[in-house]
């Protein structure tokens, strides 16, 4: 029993990453995939999660074999402008996601208690962001309390979604069968078809993009350093990365399977435009209890992503400009406040004006999408430095999988550029 307790105490960095990645976007895409394809595309989720694990493991390895943080290593080797570019890239990604995180928190609350009205929505966001700022400046050492909070949030999220899955009574045999690759409509070639077409296949591409988070993997190196791990803790890093990725895969699998059992063939997937739409879709099938339980999972996922997402952005921005490499540094805390403010301000503005956030998020994607391959390339670059010898040398399989991750992020980036260009030129 003591060994089990010690094991759960030892893991943490990758759990934080899982809490960030398992946000509203991931929940929505997993649900839509299940509603459209049933169980047949579980293999796509498994493949994306496997690549995510490889990137997280690589990042964790780099966090213990290099003397400095990843951005500082890049700055020392390639110049400060490169570090600034990476820091700003991650910060902008965070700011874009922070808008949807704010909206998701409000949506989850409204699913439980009904329409709040504009003043109440604004009040909720002001109160929540203020609470995060109080926590931010209230602890001298932020990592340990944040890790504990994220473990609790992940537990609540997993419990909520498993309850929904039990209510849905999934086909276990079909779930296992879904691990066997099978083509979507249009065949396997549809995955690389015209990104402005393809219909439902675009949902699968979005599922891969929300599961395979290069930005989240990049931060794993900072998590292991905050944990105090060194070269002797390499095995811990691999186990921690595996546990965190299993949580990410498990939550998405449960959500997808719930939608497959409850919504596939019964609900028009095009009507599932937000996580709150999914919660409401469950109510006629299983009663209000299912809606409330799912909403609790949404709130947990949204709050976890909301809290840590901003901290990652603040930390990376601070490190990029050489103003502090840990979340405890004042530069990182100030950067986190900036990320919180940007996300909250845009969300509140869209609520007051009744302006859809879709266009705002589209612009955010356009401004950050070029940076995603840069993050993957940075990981591969730092993994192949000739001064990494002996026990500090990165295994070849990690480099190979990191390179595959880079190619995947490049493909997703090129497709997103085309979609954004077509959308903006059509308006």
Confidence of residue 427 (pLDDT cuts 50, 70, 90): low
Mean pLDDT, the chain, rounded, equals 80
Instruction: Provide the domain limits for residue 113.
Output: 14-426
Task: Provide mean pLDDT across the span 40-68.
Answer: 91
Number of domains in the chain: 1
Give yes or no for a contact between 216 and 17, defined as CB atoms under 8 angstroms apart.
Answer: yes
Q: Looking at the domain assignment, is residue 2 inside a domain?
A: no
pLDDT single digits (tens) 287-345: 667 777 777 777 777 777 777 888 888 888 999 998 888 888 888 889 999 999 988 88
| pLDDT value for 403 | 94
Q: Looking at the domain assignment, is residue 3 inside a domain?
A: no
Task: Provide mean pLDDT across the span 384-392.
Answer: 90
DSSP 228: T
Task: Provide mean pLDDT across the span 226-231.
Answer: 79
| pLDDT value for 191 | 66
**Region at 68 (left for phi over 0; alpha for psi -120 to 50; beta for the rest):** beta
Q: Looking at the domain assignment, is residue 1 inside a domain?
A: no
Task: Provide mean pLDDT across the span 346-371.
Answer: 61
Q: Please give the biggest Cα pair distance in the chain.
A: 61
Confidence of residue 362 (pLDDT cuts 50, 70, 90): very low
| pLDDT value for 366 | 47
Give yes or no for a contact between 69 and 223, defined as CB atoms under 8 angstroms apart.
Answer: no
Q: Looking at the domain assignment, is residue 89 inside a domain?
A: yes
Q: Looking at the domain assignment, is residue 7 inside a domain?
A: no
Torsion angle of C-alpha atoms 382, 384, 386, 388, degrees rounded to 10: 70
Give yes or no for a contact between 220 and 63, defined as CB atoms under 8 angstroms apart.
Answer: yes
Give yes or no for a contact between 219 and 89, defined as CB atoms under 8 angstroms apart.
Answer: no
More confident residue, 354 or 359: 354
Q: Looking at the domain assignment, is residue 5 inside a domain?
A: no
Q: Looking at the domain assignment, is residue 6 inside a domain?
A: no
The answer on pLDDT for 253 being more than 80 is yes
| pTM for this model (two decimals) | 0.83
Q: Looking at the domain assignment, is residue 348 inside a domain?
A: yes
CATH number of the domain to which 239 belongs: 1.20.1740.10
């Amino acid at each position: 029993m003591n060994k089990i307790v010690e094991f759960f105490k030892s893991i943490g960095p990758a759990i934080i990453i899982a809490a960030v990645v398992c946000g509203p976007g991931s929940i929505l895409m997993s649900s839509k995939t299940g509603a459209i394809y049933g169980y047949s595309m579980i293999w796509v989720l498994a493949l994306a999660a496997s690549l995510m694990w490889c990137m997280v493991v690589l990042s964790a390895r780099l966090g213990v074999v290099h003397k400095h943080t990843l951005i500082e290593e890049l700055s020392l080797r390639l110049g400060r402008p490169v570090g600034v570019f990476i820091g700003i890239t991650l910060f902008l990604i965070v700011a874009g996601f922070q808008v949807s995180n704010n909206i998701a928190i409000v949506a989850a609350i409204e699913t439980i208690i009904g329409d709040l009205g504009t003043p109440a929505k604004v009040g909720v966001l002001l109160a929540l962001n203020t609470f995060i700022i109080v926590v931010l400046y209230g602890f001298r050492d932020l990592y340990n309390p944040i890790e504990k909070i994220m473990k609790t949030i992940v537990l609540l999220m997993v419990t909520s979604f498993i309850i929904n899955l039990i209510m849905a009574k999934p086909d276990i045999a079909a779930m296992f069968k879904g691990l066997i690759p099978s083509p979507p409509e249009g065949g396997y070639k549809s995955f690389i078809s015209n990104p402005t077409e393809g219909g439902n296949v675009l949902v699968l591409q979005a599922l891969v993009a929300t599961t395979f988070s290069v930005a989240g993997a990049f931060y794993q190196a900072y998590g292991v350093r905050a944990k105090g791990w060194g070269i002797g803790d390499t095995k811990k890093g691999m186990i921690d990365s595996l546990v965190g990725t299993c949580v990410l895969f498990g939550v998405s699998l449960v959500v997808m399977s719930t939608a497959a059992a409850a919504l596939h063939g019964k609900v028009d997937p095009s009507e599932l435009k937000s996580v709150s739409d999914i919660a409401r879709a469950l109510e006629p099938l299983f009663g209000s209890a299912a809606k409330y339980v799912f909403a609790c999972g949404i709130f947990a996922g949204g709050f976890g992503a909301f809290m840590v997402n901003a901290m990652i952005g603040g930390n990376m921005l601070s490190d990029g400009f050489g103003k502090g490499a840990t979340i405890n540094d004042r530069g990182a805390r100030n950067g986190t406040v900036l990320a919180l403010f940007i996300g909250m301000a845009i969300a509140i503005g869209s609520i007051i004006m009744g302006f859809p956030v879709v266009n705002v998020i589209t612009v955010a994607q356009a401004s950050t999408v070029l940076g995603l391959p840069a993050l993957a390339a940075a990981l591969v670059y730092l993994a192949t430095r000739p001064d990494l010898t002996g026990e500090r040398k990165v295994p070849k399989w990690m480099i190979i999988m990191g390179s595959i991750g880079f190619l995947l992020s490049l493909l997703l980036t090129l497709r997103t550029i085309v979609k954004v260009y077509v959308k903006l030129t059509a308006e």
